[in-house]
Chains A and B, each alone.
Chain A
């Protein structure tokens, strides 16, 4: 009779489901083996992101505090969201006698960035690159606006340390 077979099959299907959850419960209760969550703020030190992880745009500086950006503004133009602002100035180069553009501030608005990577592709000097930092929480929105070139940094002489 379908009435009774319904009851039996139904109960069986429920028990099969309970066996699966029950299995996970006891494994986790006894060994914590199947636990898949990260203990987030605790494992901040040990948490390593993949190399390609796009956390934020950073500017490469070598040990002499030199970067490669020559203020060409290509990244600014490539950005679809206007997250990059370049403030540059000109200065006379005593060796060649020409006016050379140099960067004053490479302003990066992290809060507007969509991590699309177009700026980094556009940069002819490979001056900017991805940083793996994901811990961006701030109490103040203003703190998300960053100046990428470090204070006192200079442009490095070309041909040296080309990627």
Chain B
């Protein structure tokens, strides 16, 4: 029978261009799929559709000007990206920032993380086919965006950090709005679980899909929630505490399963942790200056500098090689999404197209972060 089938029924592998315009690729990512029916034989990534050569642009910009470019990398964690550059320059120049600034930065980072995760949750549901989650996610995101807009002046590309502090002082409504948000979100987060996490179809779609072992996760350099879903401890906030992370208590969420559902749960739990960080800080924002005076022209001393922060997608790093000028000699961003995406082939091989979409969602990519 086998022979008969292979003789008479010739099957053929074929290629499918998924993207660059495709609803599931979250932007302009292109995947070249080699398929056998619906089963994925190979995934090849084709990047470069949104390459803006931001790293090169940074080499012609002063350190102050670089900050606003980092908004345009991973736009969902723009605050953390800003912070990374600022921390790097402050470290290099030994600028001591006040406690107030540190706390403000930490709170903004956590708000960004929640807003990014909330958006991810909505889109995740949409990729799996539950269209309503998108709007529910946006409801919460809108509240955070309002907080950002009131204090920072923008909703997405906030550009709030400056070298030596933050651009504006906290708005007087800030604490109240954050508290409102915390109470609101504490009520809504369980709804997320009821609507999606516990849904039998959703669980069956994710469980055991896109497995990557702890060893492989380390080998591929996965980071952030994606790696923590495989049980790799990699939270920069814990390993190299920066800003006010050394004075708050939070848990690094680890799930050892390594499948899509584990990665999903890591992010849901992280939202709870971020909420608790916010709660710990919101009543204890120290008084003081929001900004330290810095020189008009900032020149880094000669040498190499590296700063890592935990962005919403993982370990975001900035590396600067300086030759003592006011421009960096070479600047490199280590983007979390790029490393995570490399494991896609490993995760998706042998699964179906629908699974690929689910895996792509749980990796939580932002394409401008991958293609800089």
Contacts and interface: CB of A to CB of B under 8 A. Distances in A.
Interface string A110-152: 0000111110010000000010000000000000000000000
A96 B315 CA distance: 60
A52 B168 contact: yes
B139 interface: yes
Given A115-B154, A130-B153, A52 B195 contact: no
B139 A50 contact: no
Nearest to B201: A14
A118 B65 contact: yes
A49 B200 CA distance: 43
Interface SS of B by simple majority: helix
B207 interface: no
A29 interface: no
Interface of B: 61, 64-65, 67-69, 71-72, 132, 135, 138-139, 142, 149-154, 157, 159, 162, 167-168, 171, 191, 194-196, 198-201
Given A52-B168, A118-B68, 19 more contacts: A9-B200, A14-B200, A17-B195, A19-B194, A20-B195, A36-B138, A36-B139, A50-B171, A53-B153, A53-B154, A78-B64, A78-B65, A80-B68, A80-B69, A115-B154, A116-B65, A116-B159, A117-B153, A121-B162
30 contacts: A9-B200, A13-B200, A14-B201, A17-B194, A17-B199, A19-B194, A20-B191, A20-B194, A50-B150, A50-B153, A50-B171, A52-B151, A52-B153, A52-B171, A53-B149, A53-B153, A54-B154, A78-B65, A80-B61, A80-B68, A80-B69, A114-B68, A114-B71, A114-B157, A115-B154, A115-B157, A117-B153, A117-B167, A118-B65, A130-B153
Closest 10 CB pairs of A and B: A116-B68, A10-B200, A80-B65, A52-B153, A54-B153, A50-B150, A13-B200, A13-B198, A36-B139, A17-B195
Interface of A: 9-10, 13-14, 16-17, 19-21, 36, 49-50, 52-54, 78, 80, 114-118, 121, 130
